[in-house]
Each structure stands twice: as structure tokens, then as C-alpha cells.
Amino acid sequence: MLRIKWKCTKLPSTAPVSEVPKPKVENGESKEIEEIKLSVCSVDLLSSKEGQNRKEHHTDQYHGDGLIIRRGQRFNVELELNRAYNADTDKLHLDLKTGPLPMVSKSTHVIIPLVQQPKDGHWEAKIIEQNGNKIKLSVNSPPKAVIGLYGLSVVTNPLKGEGSTTYNSAKNITLLFNPWCEDDPVFLDDEEQRKEYVLNDTGRLYYGTEKQIGARTWNFGQFHEGMLDACLFILEKSDMPPSGRGDPVNVVRVISAMINAQDDFGVLVGNWSGDYTDGVSPSAWSSSVEILRKYHSTNGTPVSYGQCWVFSGITTTVLRCLGIPARSVTNFQSAHDTDVSLTTDVYFDEDLDPIDYLNSDSVWNFHVWNDCWMARPDLPPGHGGWQAVDATPQETSQGTFCCGPASVNAIRCGHVYLKHDAPFVFAEVNSDKIYWQRNRDGTFSQFHMEKKAVGHQISTKAVGSDERADITHLYKHPEGSEEERIAVETASRYGSKPEVYAVPMAEDVSVEVLMEGEGPRMGADAQLNIVVTNMSSEPRQTTLHSQAAVMYYTGVLKGALKKEQIAVELLPNEVKTIKWLLPYQQYQDQLVDQAALMLTLSGRVTETKQVLANQTTFRLRMPDLNITVGFYFMHLNESKITFTNPLPRTLKNVVFRVEGLGLQKGHEVVVGFTMSAEQKMIIYSVADECRNVTNDFDSFKMHKQND
């Protein structure tokens, strides 16, 4: 059965602790204690691998005696003071600093105050335990805080008077990305995938040909001794300022540049010559650990040598070590486009002999790069999730040998205008191979095209096993399908040779998606109107390919719910409205927070070859909570809240979280009975005084759990 919770505000991740009692002192001792200036004797970061901090933050496998934690999640520290802390006379705060020039304005110098009720998303601390001269603090960190190595200081001073004291902790704090925190852009909503793509320290890399796929075991070793220090060292060696380390897009782009040594003295020197006498053959490596240790121990001297699978293995290690979900990916028959044409071009002379100096494009038997997982708020919705990143130095991007992160969904759809480096990755997996012959006047004519030459058997290690998983469908539509051809032609418009494909004779058909009223309602079939307009005086025909997918509010797509093809015939100047329906049964158990979905449409007009495309995001409207202000007596005000079950199924374990201005106490109202379909429920809440009562519908979330 289905369980649903309704709540108005996001609650702290741990239950609030009752207020810490102030220390009791005898009258004769009070003045003497107040005259003793408060200072810190010691700081315990509670950094033991077996302790609560490391266990709860999934960092217990890292080596090191410092505190290693993930952002957006609470952690505890203990302070030993020279006397008991008194909130009436003492003031205390924590200082965290990272980078060579910490600045509050750059979020690299963080001042953490003591508060009564910490708020999620802020640097704040609260006393949760006090025993004599010792206090335990619970500390919040924001989910987009700068990651890296922080030094910790504790500053104390009296509320009245001057003179502060500072205690510097001997141990540092390392803050990492947090795939377990739903407000962190790298949040991955699947525990088995987090175990695979963050915590698994071994894997499989694939090589060979599409018909003879080989696999080698690779030791990523992100938790080995010295690996975290080496990964942080790589960030320090880059030109990225510490303030930029809060954004995983920036971090991944820098990592893709720093893993190769081509132009910035990065980790690994690439060598495809076959001569490795002054280094190690790329085939000899089977682990990232030795390479990263050598690079770190020599203060950043590039290690020799590597090829694509070694670059990919090291990238997986570094990204997982920093907390970004990552995997190594192999593309068989992988194209290398050198002129941004988004085609793989082969040139022949008048006698059909190859022109070697023009044939710079190539197709590799295989090429290995990486996928990493993150939201992409810098791109349109629907382009979060897996992002391609390639550390092998092939072509420069904005003057540097790096590649990505490029949205895999954008590559699949041919949206190569979206950053970063989508054209290059698109060509690797889905470019057509074009054959050109030189004419007598020196120009070239196309005489043959291979549409299925590249991008086969795209492979990665399966989650939870050593089997190979084929993920070609994530990078491209089925080979030869109309959707795949539309993606190719859409991409080619942004390449250096758009004339390769037929230009539409006219663009006189439009498609848009409209909602009726306030839009689809939770619990009912979702209906949208697809409006197709023929602006010509001739009839038009097209087939629309539609896909509906669940989407997180961050723009990451969870999965497809419905796919169909819609044949459309238009009379001259006709406007046709098509009713599109998503039945409740198809989405009832698939939604995530905010109940957002995306409808994607694509098609081609038969007569003109015009490409049609549209993406529309929408959400299922939650039911209203009706709030009525009741009687007012003895400074108390009663409000009545009415809710009707919107779903055509019985709800169990319904919980209301009631909170607002003037309420005596924020509280939960647990309904002690099941609610059948369309059943109405009324609850009452008492406030200290009559205040404004508001109903912010968007703050309600529906959580589904199996009985």
C-alpha cells in the first residue's frame, strides 16, 4: 500500500536536542567564575574512523586522523574549556579557513556562530551536550559549501568587555561533496548506485573491438592512504581559486584538464608512439594509486605514460575520492572530429586515392572516458544527471586540453550548443562518416555516407556486479531511427559543415504544449494539449515522437514513463489540438519530490523535411489545504484545516506537520485511521494569538513508502 506524508517545512536531519541547562554556581562563586576569561583547552574533532561522524558521512574508509566529512550534513565536535560555559556571559564561535587567502566574501573564511536552532543550509552550530567544562557542538554546513581542506579555530570572548582568545586545532577538517544530500548538486537518489559510483574502489575497464570486447580489472583505490591528500593536491596545483570549488561543474572541468600533463603539468603524460623506454608502458598500469602517489610525492612532476583507459581510471579515482559519483565508460568505434564539423570526414582525390594530409579525422577501435553525475542548473531543465568528461588530451577546449562536463542527454538529443564540449562528444558517438572526392576545380563533392559507422557498444561496469552494462541508449537513440536522424541533423546545424544535410525547403509548421487552467492534478490522469500549426497554404504531415519522464526539481531526469508516436495530418493553415494523456496508473509509483515531469516532442515534416522539437516541464498540482480561522477565546485561536485525499486509492499513516506564526508549538498530527479515496479529514490547531494564516502549497511534499 501507499503511505503519504504532508509537511510544510523541511525538518532538521536529526531530532532537536532539549535546551542545555546553564551551569549552577553558588552565590559566592559566581563573581569569581565570571572574572575568569573563557578559553579553550582542547578540541576533539571526533574524527575516529569508527566514530559517529565518519560513519554517518560515509567517510570511514578514508585514511588519516583529521575529520573527513561531507557538506550539507551535520557533524559533531567536542570542546574542553577552562571553566563551564555560560551563555549569559560568554560568546564563542568557530572559524574555518581554506586556501592561501581566506575571505568571508569568497566563502573561504567561514564564521560559525552558536545558535539555539540551526537552520539547514547555513554554517551554524548548537550546543547539544554540556558536562562540566566540556561541551559538544552539532555543526551545520551548507550543501554548496566550498570543498577542500579547512583549518579550524575556536574564538572565545566575553559578551561584555574586550579581549578574545583563539585556539587553533591541531587537526584539519576535509569537506567533500555529498551524493547523500538531496540539496547537493551531486545528489544521487539510489543507494546501490552510490555504493558503486562513490564507494566502490575497484572496477572494470573495457577495451578491444565491438565484436571482441575485453575487460581489465582496475584498482581505483580512492580510500588508500595518501589518495585524498593527492586529490586535494591536484586541485591546489590547478589555476582554479578555492572559491570555485563549491561548484562540481567547475571542479570536474578542472580535473579533466589536470589529469593530463599536456599544458598544465598535470598528472599523466600521454604517449601513443609505442616507445616507452623512459617511463612505464600504459598497458602496465592496473591501478590509479601508484600514479597519484608518485605525482604527489614529486610535488607535481607528471608521470609517464598513459593512454585513454589510464586517464579514465585516474579520473574515476579522483572524482569518487572528492565525492562526485563517477564511472569509466568505453565507446567502441569512437570518432575523433578535428574540425568541429560533427562528421567524420574522409577525403579522396580525383582518382579516389586518399588525401592523407586532409584525413585528420579518425575512428578509434575504442576510447575510454568518464561519466559523472550532477545537476546542471546552468543548463535548461532535463540536462542534469550523467555528464561526459574526458581527460585524454585530444582537442583543446577554450585553449586547454580538457573536455566536459557535457550533458549526456544533450548529446542524445543533438543539443550540441549546450556547454561544455558537447559537439566533440556527440561526434565521438553519433557522427556520420562522410566520403568526399576532389573535383577538377579543387572543390569537393560528397559521394558516400555511412550512418552507422561510430558509437557502438558503449560500455561500463554494471552496478553491483562485474558484468558489462551497455549504455548506448543513454548516448543515442536507436541507430537508424527517425529520432536518431533528427538528433544528427539538429547537431549538424551547429557544426562547420551544416550543408552536408538537406536544408528544409520551408519551416512553416510549429508545435507547442499548453495546459488547461492550473494544470494536471495529483491523483488524476495528466492531460496536456499539443498544438500543431500549419502556417502554409499546402497540407503537411508529420509523426511526433513523444516521451514523458519524471524529473527532479534540479533538472535531472529520473526515467521515462511513456513513449509513443503520434501521426499528424494538417490541412492548409490548420491549427490542430491533440489531447495527450498520461494515466494515473503510469506515474502513481514513480514520482519524486515536487512531482515534476518533462514532455519531449520531436518529429520531421514529410513534405519539407523541417525538424520539429519541443520540451515542456510541468508538475502535478497538489490538493489544497483549506484553513479556516475559528473561535478566539482567552488569547487562544483555533484554526480548522481540511484535507481531501486526492488519490483513487487508500492512504495509510498520513502525517500533517503543522507550523506557523503564533502556534503554541510546531507539531505533527498523526492520523490514526486510513483515508479512502476522496475521504475528507479535518484537524484543529491552537495558536497563542490571531495571526495571518497562509497556505504555501509549494512547500508540501508527498512521500511514498511501501507498507
Which own/partner contact pairs does 576-580 have at CB distance under 8 Å and 24+ positions apart?
A: 576/531, 576/532, 576/533, 576/534, 577/529, 577/530, 577/531, 578/529, 578/530, 578/531, 578/532, 579/527, 579/529, 579/530, 580/513, 580/527, 580/528, 580/529, 580/530, 580/546
H helix intervals, 449-581: 472-475, 482-492
Find out whether 384 and 556 touch, Cβ atoms under 8 Å.
Answer: yes
Q: What whole-number distance in Å separates Cα of residue 690 and Cα of residue 630? A: 10
- Which amino acids are annotated as binding site for Ca(2+), given as ranges? 430, 432, 479, 484
Told to judge if 231 belongs to the known catalytic residues of this protein, a careful annotator would answer no
Q: How far is CA 240 from CA 234, 236, 290, 392, in A?
A: 10, 8, 25, 20
Burial bucket for residue 272 (CB in 10 Å: 0-12, 13-18, 19+) = exposed
The DSSP annotation for 403-447 comes to ---EEHHHHHHT-TTSTTTHHHHHHHHHPEEEEEEE-TTS-EEEE
Cβ count within 10 A of residue 688: 13
Told to judge if 456 belongs to the known catalytic residues of this protein, a careful annotator would answer no
Told to judge if 367 belongs to the known catalytic residues of this protein, a careful annotator would answer yes
Q: Which of 181, 308, 321, 372 is catalytic?
A: 308
**Assigned C-alpha cell, 655:** 502525517
Pairing of β 385-389 and β 148-158: unpaired
H helix intervals, 476-532: 482-492
| Three-state secondary structure string covering 608-651 | CCCEEEEEEEEECECCCCEEEEEEEECCEEEEEEEEECCCCCCE
Q: What whole-number distance in Å separates Cα of residue 53 and Cα of residue 49? A: 8
Q: Which of 390, 420, 421, 477 is catalytic?
A: 390
Catalytic residues: 308, 367, 390
